[in-house]
Amino acid sequence: MNTGSATGSRGCRSPVPCSADGGAGGWGSGQDGRVTPDDPDYPLAARTAPTLAALDAHLVECRACPRLVAWREHVADVKRASFRDEDYWARPVPGFGDEQAGIVVVGLAPAAHGANRTGRMFTGDRSGDFLFAAMHRTGLANQATSVSADDGLRLTGIRVTAPVRCAPPDNKPTPEERRRCGPYLAREVELLGATVRVAVVLGGFGWQALLSTLAEQGWAVPRPRPRFAHGAEVTLRRATPRPTPGASLPGVVPDGGPPPPEQTLTLLGCFHVSQQNTFTGRLTPQMLDDVLLRARELAGLGAPA
Alpha-carbon gap, residue 123 to 148, rounded angstroms: 6
Instruction: Collect all residues with Cβ–Cβ distance below 8 Å to 124 and sequence separation of at least 6.
Output: 111, 113, 114, 115, 117, 118, 146, 147, 148
Strand pairing category for 96-97 and 158-161: antiparallel
In the chain, how many H helices and how many E strands?
8, 6
**Architecture of the domain defined by 95-299:** 3-Layer(aba) Sandwich (3.40)
Alpha-carbon gap, residue 300 to 45, rounded angstroms: 33
Specify the 3-state DSSP secondary structure of 11.
coil
pLDDT at 8: 45
> Picking from 23-27, 181-185, 200-204, which range would have the lowest pLDDT averaged per residue?
23-27
pLDDT at 257: 58
Q: Contact at 8 Å (CB) between 221 and 83?
A: no
Instruction: Collect all residues with Cβ–Cβ distance below 8 Å to 219 and sequence separation of at least 6.
Output: 236, 237, 238, 265
Q: How remote is the C-alpha of 184 from its chain's centroid?
A: 9
Specify the 3-state DSSP secondary structure of 179.
helix
pLDDT at 269: 99
pLDDT at 305: 82
Q: 0.85 exceeded by the pTM?
A: yes
The domain locations on the chain are 95-299
Specify the 3-state DSSP secondary structure of 160.
strand
pLDDT at 1: 33
pLDDT digits (tens, 9 = 90+) for 75-116: 999 999 989 889 999 999 999 999 999 999 999 999 999 999
Q: What is the mean pLDDT of the chain?
A: 88
Q: What is the CA radius of gyration of the chain?
A: 18
Q: How remote is the C-alpha of 180 from its chain's centroid?
A: 15
pLDDT exceeds 60 at position 51: yes
The pLDDT confidence band at residue 35, using thresholds 50, 70 and 90, is: confident
pLDDT at 283: 99
Please give the C-alpha separations between residue 43 and each of 15, 64, 213, 272, in angstroms, as whole numbers: 20, 7, 14, 26
pLDDT digits (tens, 9 = 90+) for 219-268: 999 999 999 999 999 999 998 765 555 555 554 555 555 656 788 999 99
pLDDT at 193: 87
